[in-house]
Chains A and B, each alone.
Chain A
Amino acid sequence: MASRIVMSKLSPTMEEGRVLKWVKQEGESVDSGDVVVEIETDKATMEVEAMGSGVLRKVLVEENATVPTGTLLGVIAAEDEDISSILQEAAPAAAATTAPATESGARAALPDQPASPARAGDGGRIKASPLARRMASQSGIRLDQVRGSGPGGRIIKRDIEAAMGAGLAAPTAAPATPAPEIEYDIPYQRVELSQLRKAIARNLVQSLGPIPHFFLTREIDMGEVLKLRAELNDALLESGVRIGVNDILVKTAAQALTEHPDVNAAFAGDHIRRFTRVDIGIAVAVPDGLITPVLRDVAHMRLREISEASREMIARARDRKLAPEEYQGATFTISNLGMYGVDEFTAVINPPAATILAVGATQERPVVVDGAVEIRPRMRVTLSCDHRAVDGAMGAEFLATFAAMLENPLRQLL
């Protein structure tokens, strides 16, 4: 099957790119993964790899030419394949079909692509040494978040040690700093730690320890959202599906993250992982703590699907029936304490994500609209950011988009 080589948008700010050098020439055979062309962006030089095997049939953009992102640069296809229809395609259409942008040399951590050769693909076997496996499992490190440096991309001891250093886990942090024995003569009841409570302690100590948090708070007018929700639920009356405000927040966050991919990220020691899929965790209170079921690829889910999936997962979360892969590895998390009447709060980042959004109650508040005081439903949200990956302005821009989308839901259709 023919595959296109396209000037991909390699960074959020990239509008155009220059073809630096064709590593493969027209007519040369190409294997999937071969570097075909080098391109230069506003920030760096990147190597573009072939997504398929065959022959480089056509070079459409000469070396040193600068073209907008999305432009078709060349076509790889079988020797006798008809590529005329591809050549006729409009460039922007090709852009839409490009693979997610990857930084050259650091194609780590696309949740839906092999992060390293260690992984054979979704559901595939992760190559890791027995020692690395045991270290990872005792440290709470997910092997699929570790890049293997051993033969054939095998994950070995030093990779896990690096992951520990990078703060992908630090299990001993909690046990290593036990609370001092308090010997006051006050009666108390000793409550043993459940496994879940231990895990929470471990993760959060790890979080507030090595992760430098900062917080951004913003108030959002929820009038339009409440109206939209009512309308949608009227329309869905017969189906039995009910859209919650939280579902709209999840959907909107996914949309906003798509526009601000630098916030949909994680700090991973020697690099930042900018995830190319939006997986949103929803913090759910359960009798002994909290758990965060994760909705995968939310940007491509419809509101109704989000509503159904989250309802189903939250129910299973409360029954403790989620599999680990269903509550780990969110790229963004929403924690909503509005139902408890909390006005605003700050949430602790749950690694590996770099951000978490704390949502307070929507309350009637007097605000000044067009010079007059009006009573409006207002909601305060606080974004906690890992400063190693996300800077203040980046977080603020994301929040601005998020707020604008909620205040004018139609904007999401753009």
Chain B
Amino acid sequence: MREGIKGSYDLLVIGAGPGGYVAAIRAAQLGMDVACVESESREGGLGGVCLNWGCIPTKAMLESAALARRIKDDAADFGVKVKAYELDMAAATGRSRQVSDRLTKGIKFLFDRNGVMPIFGRAKLAGDKKVTVELKSGERTTVSTSNIIIATGSRPKTFPGFEFDGERVISSREALELKRLPGHIVVVGAGSIGMEFADIFNAFGANVTVVEILPQLLPLEDTEIAGVVERSFKKRGIKVKKKTGVKSLAKLDKKLQVTVEGSSGEEVIECDALLMAVGRVPNVEDLGLETAGVKLDDQGWIQTDGFCLTTTEGIYAIGDVAGAPMLAHKASHEGRIAAEHIAGQPTHPITPYDVPSCTYCHPEVASIGRTEKQAKENGFDVTVGKFPFSANGRALAAGSPDGMVKIVADAKYREVLGVHMVGHHVTELVAEAGLGRALESTVDEIAATVHAHPTLSETLMEAALAALGRAIHI
């Protein structure tokens, strides 16, 4: 196991998730001698939560969910009569694992090609640019390194009294490996993770109740956009309880009893499983951070600057462990910034409003930049342009008229402050908005760009025209 591990590296990356593996590859491209330590025992092990237990397998499950819904709700309308079909949660889960495996193997291949040394074990900072690694075999080895990138990510959190038991009180991780579909599942937390699982379980036929303490589903998204999703969820029979918190949990033999408290008082919900999607905590324990002088902020995340540098020279932290937004693409981008900063290459800190956010429930939600409310709070004189999917040819042809694109622009300079989307495949449309912001396009440039017809992307152009007061198709 120790074979091939050298005594010193230019860069040691701790964690091979979407932050760590990208940082490692980028650093190798820049000529550094790089090793990447990964503690996960799972075969392959690379890719972190994103590839193994997060972004990717959930997307595979959501595709199964979408197909199930299409067959159930739309096939006959579309002229495809399906006489009999069966939903097989285990098969869907199996497929999602295969997708994950294929990608994690891909990372091994990329490491090999770029000369990044993967080390499987637990790393601990030993101070003075040294890292001790406890290998799988139990053996310990100490490696010297000029630079360190901490990319240890985060894990699901829960509340006291709602501890995970791996079977009935579960996190997103166990939800991806359920052998049986629960009859009724309560999802606590209506952020991206909660909403996606609510969608999956609903499509496979479970009763689903979503409990959210805030007055809005997807609380970080634009209120109007979240409203479209809520209507769609309710139409499909998903129960939604907003402004409602969980109080206590009783585990009976067969059932769980969850006591919740909302505006109308307390209520006991009986269910078979409880999915806690109430946030994540950073993996900062047992890393030797204190020894190395790496400080945490008051929320418990590793404190970093715009170039991901921690309070200790030569030690960087990227991705979830360095704080919100906890998104794989933010982690990957920070990985590039950190590697480039170490190499002395010109690089730029991320602008918070330039990180897109996507939720892959149905209808999908995607956004970048400020919401209408934030823009107003920031003191902008705001102009809004909206365009509904019900007026878009491609959306109608796809049988997906639910949705809209909303552009929030500054009235003075017509800067695109935010773009908020809900509807069919909008997670693929948000990149255009991101490019627009990166290039500092104004609403005018988006409106003036020729968009192919018929495409969903026309909705963005029309929303831009609407912001200028001259939408054509509405």
A residues within 8 Å of B by Cβ?
Answer: 129-132, 134-135, 138, 156-157
In the complex, are the beta carbons of A131 and B412 less than 8 A apart? no
In the complex, are the beta carbons of B444 and A130 less than 8 A apart? yes
Kindly list the 4 A-B residue pairs having the minimum CB-CB distance in the complex, ordered from nearest.
A129-B440, A131-B440, A134-B413, A130-B442
Q: What CA separation (Å) do A339 and B414 show in the bound complex?
A: 48
In the complex, are the beta carbons of B440 and A138 less than 8 A apart? no
**Chain B residue contacts of A129, Cβ below 8 A:** 439-441
**Chain A residue contacts of B444, Cβ below 8 A:** 130
Residue B415 CB within 8 A of the other chain:
yes
Residue B445 CB within 8 A of the other chain:
yes
**Chain B residue contacts of A131, Cβ below 8 A:** 413-415, 440-442
Q: What CA separation (Å) do A130 and B414 show in the bound complex?
A: 10
Q: Which residue of A lies closest to B441 (CB)?
A: A130
In the complex, are the beta carbons of A138 and B439 less than 8 A apart? no
Q: Which residue of A lies closest to B446 (CB)?
A: A130
* Given known A156-B440, A157-B440, contact A130–B445 (CB-CB < 8 A): yes
- Interchain residue pairs with CB less than 8 A apart (13): A129-B439, A130-B441, A130-B442, A130-B445, A131-B413, A131-B440, A131-B441, A131-B442, A134-B413, A134-B414, A135-B413, A156-B440, A157-B440
Q: Which residue of A lies closest to B437 (CB)?
A: A131
Chain B residues 395 to 414 lying within 8 A of chain A, measured CB to CB, are: 412-414
16 more contacts with CB within 8 A, not counting A130-B444, A131-B414, A134-B414, are A129-B439, A129-B440, A129-B441, A130-B439, A130-B442, A130-B445, A131-B415, A131-B440, A131-B441, A132-B440, A134-B442, A138-B412, A138-B413, A156-B440, A157-B415, A157-B440
Q: Which residue of B lies closest to A137 (CB)?
A: B413
Q: What CA separation (Å) do A249 and B18 show in the bound complex?
A: 69
Chain B residues 427 to 456 lying within 8 A of chain A, measured CB to CB, are: 439-442, 444-445
Q: Which residue of A lies closest to B445 (CB)?
A: A130
**Chain A residue contacts of B440, Cβ below 8 A:** 129-132, 156-157
Q: What CA separation (Å) do A230 and B369 show in the bound complex?
A: 69
Q: What CA separation (Å) do A129 and B415 show in the bound complex?
A: 11
Q: What CA separation (Å) do A122 and B444 show in the bound complex?
A: 28
Q: What CA separation (Å) do A287 and B413 show in the bound complex?
A: 33
Please give the distance in Å from A285's CB to the nearest CB on chain B: 34
| B interface SS class | loop
Which of A130, A134, A135, A157 has its CB near the most chain B CB atoms (within 10 A)? A130
Q: What CA separation (Å) do A130 and B412 show in the bound complex?
A: 13
B residues within 8 Å of A by Cβ?
Answer: 412-415, 439-442, 444-445
Q: What CA separation (Å) do A130 and B444 show in the bound complex?
A: 9
Q: What CA separation (Å) do A156 and B442 show in the bound complex?
A: 12
Q: What CA separation (Å) do A156 and B351 show in the bound complex?
A: 14
Q: What CA separation (Å) do A135 and B445 show in the bound complex?
A: 15
Q: What CA separation (Å) do A250 and B440 show in the bound complex?
A: 43
Please give the distance in Å from A116's CB to the nearest CB on chain B: 15
Q: What CA separation (Å) do A206 and B445 show in the bound complex?
A: 31
Q: What CA separation (Å) do A128 and B320 show in the bound complex?
A: 34
Q: What CA separation (Å) do A132 and B439 show in the bound complex?
A: 10
Please give the distance in Å from A363's CB to the nearest CB on chain B: 51
Q: What CA separation (Å) do A156 and B445 show in the bound complex?
A: 15
**Chain B residue contacts of A157, Cβ below 8 A:** 415, 440
Q: What CA separation (Å) do A51 and B444 show in the bound complex?
A: 41
Q: What CA separation (Å) do A71 and B330 show in the bound complex?
A: 55
Q: What CA separation (Å) do A129 and B414 show in the bound complex?
A: 13
Please give the distance in Å from B435's CB to the nearest CB on chain A: 12
Please give the distance in Å from A152's CB to the nearest CB on chain B: 11
Q: Which residue of B lies closest to A156 (CB)?
A: B440
**Chain A residue contacts of B441, Cβ below 8 A:** 129-131
Which of A129, A131, A134, A156 has its CB near the most chain B CB atoms (within 10 A)? A131
Q: What CA separation (Å) do A343 and B440 show in the bound complex?
A: 52
**Chain B residue contacts of A138, Cβ below 8 A:** 412-413
**Chain A residue contacts of B439, Cβ below 8 A:** 129-130
Q: Which residue of A lies closest to B436 (CB)?
A: A130
Please give the distance in Å from B202's CB to the nearest CB on chain A: 42
**Chain B residue contacts of A132, Cβ below 8 A:** 440
**Chain B residue contacts of A156, Cβ below 8 A:** 440
Please give the distance in Å from B327's CB to the nearest CB on chain A: 24
**Chain A residue contacts of B445, Cβ below 8 A:** 130
**Chain A residue contacts of B415, Cβ below 8 A:** 131, 157
Q: Which residue of B lies closest to A157 (CB)?
A: B440
Q: What CA separation (Å) do A134 and B409 show in the bound complex?
A: 14
Q: What CA separation (Å) do A131 and B412 show in the bound complex?
A: 11
Q: What CA separation (Å) do A131 and B439 show in the bound complex?
A: 9
**Chain A residue contacts of B412, Cβ below 8 A:** 138
Q: What CA separation (Å) do A90 and B439 show in the bound complex?
A: 52
Q: What CA separation (Å) do A156 and B412 show in the bound complex?
A: 16
Please give the distance in Å from A319's CB to the nearest CB on chain B: 34
Q: What CA separation (Å) do A132 and B413 show in the bound complex?
A: 9
Please give the distance in Å from B317's CB to the nearest CB on chain A: 26
Q: What CA separation (Å) do A349 and B116 show in the bound complex?
A: 61
**Chain B residue contacts of A135, Cβ below 8 A:** 413
Q: What CA separation (Å) do A134 and B415 show in the bound complex?
A: 9
Q: Which residue of A lies closest to B412 (CB)?
A: A138
**Chain A residue contacts of B442, Cβ below 8 A:** 130-131, 134
Please give the distance in Å from B331's CB to the nearest CB on chain A: 23
**Chain B residue contacts of A134, Cβ below 8 A:** 413-414, 442
Please give the distance in Å from A164's CB to the nearest CB on chain B: 12
Please give the distance in Å from B446's CB to the nearest CB on chain A: 10
**Chain A residue contacts of B414, Cβ below 8 A:** 131, 134
Which of B414, B440, B442 has its CB near the most chain A CB atoms (within 10 A)? B440
Q: Which residue of A lies closest to B410 (CB)?
A: A131
Q: What CA separation (Å) do A409 and B332 show in the bound complex?
A: 70
Q: What CA separation (Å) do A25 and B215 show in the bound complex?
A: 70
Q: What CA separation (Å) do A365 and B260 show in the bound complex?
A: 97
Please give the distance in Å from B48's CB to the nearest CB on chain A: 30
Please give the distance in Å from A87's CB to the nearest CB on chain B: 39
Q: Which residue of A lies closest to B346 (CB)?
A: A151
Q: Which residue of B lies closest to A160 (CB)?
A: B413
Q: What CA separation (Å) do A132 and B444 show in the bound complex?
A: 13
Q: What CA separation (Å) do A132 and B440 show in the bound complex?
A: 8
Please give the distance in Å from B122's CB to the nearest CB on chain A: 40
Please give the distance in Å from B471's CB to the nearest CB on chain A: 20
Q: What CA separation (Å) do A223 and B439 show in the bound complex?
A: 61
Please give the distance in Å from B369's CB to the nearest CB on chain A: 13
Q: What CA separation (Å) do A32 and B445 show in the bound complex?
A: 36
Q: What CA separation (Å) do A132 and B442 show in the bound complex?
A: 9
**Chain B residue contacts of A130, Cβ below 8 A:** 439-442, 444-445
Q: Which residue of A lies closest to B444 (CB)?
A: A130
Please give the distance in Å from A138's CB to the nearest CB on chain B: 7
Please give the distance in Å from A156's CB to the nearest CB on chain B: 6
Please give the distance in Å from A303's CB to the nearest CB on chain B: 46
Q: What CA separation (Å) do A299 and B414 show in the bound complex?
A: 43
Q: What CA separation (Å) do A327 and B414 show in the bound complex?
A: 29
Q: What CA separation (Å) do A157 and B445 show in the bound complex?
A: 16
Q: What CA separation (Å) do A157 and B444 show in the bound complex?
A: 16
Which of A132, A134, A156 has its CB near the most chain B CB atoms (within 10 A)? A134
Q: What CA separation (Å) do A386 and B397 show in the bound complex?
A: 66
Please give the distance in Å from B68's CB to the nearest CB on chain A: 44
Please give the distance in Å from B45's CB to the nearest CB on chain A: 37
Please give the distance in Å from B189's CB to the nearest CB on chain A: 36
Q: Which residue of B lies closest to A150 (CB)?
A: B440
Q: Which residue of A lies closest to B416 (CB)?
A: A131
Q: What CA separation (Å) do A336 and B413 show in the bound complex?
A: 39
Please give the distance in Å from B333's CB to the nearest CB on chain A: 16
Q: What CA separation (Å) do A135 and B413 show in the bound complex?
A: 6
**Chain A residue contacts of B413, Cβ below 8 A:** 131, 134-135, 138
Please give the distance in Å from A102's CB to the nearest CB on chain B: 22
Q: What CA separation (Å) do A134 and B440 show in the bound complex?
A: 11
Q: What CA separation (Å) do A156 and B413 show in the bound complex?
A: 13
Which of B413, B439, B441 has its CB near the most chain A CB atoms (within 10 A)? B413
Please give the distance in Å from A126's CB to the nearest CB on chain B: 14
